[in-house]
Amino acid sequence: MQVSGQNYRLLRSCTAWAQQLARHCVLYCRPQRLLMIAIDGVAPQAKMCQQRTRRFMSAHTERLRKGIEKEVSAVRGRDLTSY
């Protein structure tokens, strides 16, 4: 993998942070034989898309709810006996 410029600096920074975190874990846990450290990657693309859809639907539903509430309150305010 070819890394250059700003991406290289970011990669070095992330690597240094991960090494510092690993050292901290070793000092904190004081393992006798083995310390297993797992690093999980970023969220899968499908999960991010699903979350984006869920947020959009939530906002859309909220807008609809507010609109319906406005209409209901307007109807409640009218004198319905004249209809």
Q: List the domain boundaries for the chain.
A: 1-32, 46-77
> Could you report the per-residue pLDDT of 28-64, keeping only the tens digit for each?
989 999 888 887 766 688 788 888 999 999 999 999 9
Which pLDDT does position 57 carry in this prediction? 93
pLDDT for res 82: 53
The amino acid sitting at 2 is Q
Mean pLDDT (whole number) for 9-21: 89
The pLDDT, as a whole number, for residue 42 is 66
Q: Is the pLDDT of residue 81 over 60?
A: no
